[in-house]
A and B are shown apart, each in its own frame.
Chain A
Amino acid sequence: MDSFGSILAEAFGLILALDPDLVEIVGLSLKVTLSAVAISCLIGLPLGAAVGAFRFPGRIVLTVLLNAMMGLPPVVVGLTVYLMLSASGPFGALALLYTPTAMIIAQTILVTPIAAALTRQVVEDLNREYAEQFASLGVGPLGRISALLRDARFSLLTVALAGFGRAVAEVGAVMIVGGNINHVTRVMTTTIALETSKGNLQLALALGVVLLILSLIINAAVMAVRGTAQRAAYV
């Protein structure tokens, strides 16, 4: 087995060389993952906020359900989406199987429960502080949700990052619905799986390091945005 030093060296070599194939794969990874996270936040944030802020019948059940769905197995989600999008499935006519769109759909299903469940907790805690004020000011339901989401925005960035972490590292679902087709649906994680199966363990690990660095950069960027915004907010 190669030393960790040589793996790191290969990883940085890959990055510095800006190999067009690697750039394409990293680009598709980001496109798929960020699209899925964005759509998941669009659905999950308001959904989680509503569950966190309001009392209604079935709320506990819904909360438990959302929390449980954070643990959806990617392969099961991948298979389900495959069966839906398959030519012999109900949405076969859309011809979405083996496209990046199919991968975004699968990852959105994986990330939305995370966005919703974590948002629910954040908003519920905040709502406890705000409830009296809302009542005395007579704020309507939509006003409440938007005020809570706005004031919780920094915590919600972390929620989005948790979703990003899940999506960017995921291989089981995108492998099944994307098919790992070269230049079409090949992303970082499926490339790592492919290189592993070719026995190119050093290259696979180096690609893993590249993925890790990518994740670090995105997290650092979000933290920087958050820091700047927070300072501006309290000056």
Chain B
Amino acid sequence: MIRRSFIGLTTAMFMGLGLATPASAEDRFIIVQSTTSTQNSGLFDHILPMFTEKSGIEVRVVAVGTGQAIKNASNGDGDVLFVHAKPSEEKFVAAGDGVARFDVMYNDFVIVAPESDPAGVAGITDVTAALTRIAEAQAPFASRGDDSGTNKAELRLWAQTDVEPAAASGGWYRETGSGMGATLNAAVGMGAYTMSDRATWISFANKGNFKIVVEGDPRLFNQYGIILVNPEKHPNVKADLGQQFVDWVISQDGQAAIASYRVDGQQLFFPNASN
């Protein structure tokens, strides 16, 4: 009797579960390896339904740092790569992992800081001068430290200064090793300067008393690109469906969809595909 009820309970547990399978069995979906800024800013929630409605293709986004997205895609774990680190993207194509790279859109990076601006960089338009002043003041600076597109861009800027931030790692230079949102949370918590893409910053909800202090330097330009993962190297890639997505993103429709995305009335991404 008791045994039966115990067995009954176990069986009921199993029956209720069934075997988990992907939500849709049909193959009309692609996986896009992308970056946190495009997801966290809400851009994908805005444009993907338009594409899906037109094409019938479901787009599944894996949003990680650009470094990890490229690594995943070069393992063949994705059909399309949509990130923002042009040199790395070109390397990806050159290595045969991608078919071709297309410019999609841009925005820019900004440096944000607590209201008190302890290093006094507000209003400086030369970003390397601002970074140098932050380093001289030894004001805390939160770096992504995760090999993401933003992290690579930040390190390129430091390389143009006389400062060696790695030497101060653990001191005023703090590598969070996490995504943009987590790094912004950390920066707000520590009162540290940090560099963010503008889209993530505008849509970020935990700004505290932080504000943008440095912006507008042409070196803060942030270009996004899209690449179909090479089906010749990775035979599992859904080349046809993936190509349809790439074509749509750089088409007039896709570009208009990107331009129409706004948060608090501000346009977050500026389409600049060449066709």
Q: Which residues of A contact B (CB under 8 A)?
A: 31-32, 34-35, 38, 86-89, 92-93, 95, 97-101, 103-104, 150, 153, 179-184, 194, 196-201, 225, 229, 232-233
Contacts and interface: CB of A to CB of B under 8 A. Distances in A.
Contact of B205 (A31, A86, A98, A200): A200
Contacts, number: 105
A137 to B, nearest CB: 18
A197 B181 contact: yes
A55 to B, nearest CB: 27
A103 B76 CA distance: 19
A179 B20 contact: no
B3 A38 contact: no
B203 interface: yes
A88 B77 CA distance: 8
A184 B61 CA distance: 10
B98 to A, nearest CB: 14
Contacts of A31: 17-18, 20
B20 A97 contact: no
8 contacts: A100-B23, A104-B20, A194-B40, A196-B182, A198-B203, A199-B184, A199-B207, A229-B5
A153 B22 CA distance: 33
A184 B31 CA distance: 11
B63 A180 contact: yes
Given A198-B181, A229-B2, 8 more contacts: A32-B20, A88-B75, A99-B20, A180-B62, A182-B61, A184-B60, A197-B185, A198-B203
Contacts of A201: 185, 205-206
A95 B13 CA distance: 27
B1 A232 contact: yes
Interface in B1-44: 1-3, 5-6, 9-10, 13-14, 16-23, 31, 36, 40
B236 interface: yes
Interface of A is mostly: helix
Interface of B: 1-3, 5-6, 9-10, 13-14, 16-23, 31, 36, 40, 45, 60-63, 72, 75-77, 179-182, 184-185, 203-207, 234, 236
Given A88-B75, A95-B236, A98-B77, A198 B20 contact: no
Given A38-B13, A88-B234, A198-B203, A101 B185 contact: no
Contacts of A232: 1-2, 5
Contacts of B5: 229, 232
A100 B61 contact: no
A225 B9 contact: yes
- Of B9, B22, B180, most A-chain CB atoms within 10 Å: B22
Nearest to A156: B6
Most buried by A among B20, B62, B76: B20
Nearest to B32: A181
Contact of B76 (A38, A87, A99): A87
A198 B204 CA distance: 5
Given A150-B3, A181-B60, A184-B60, A196 B76 contact: no
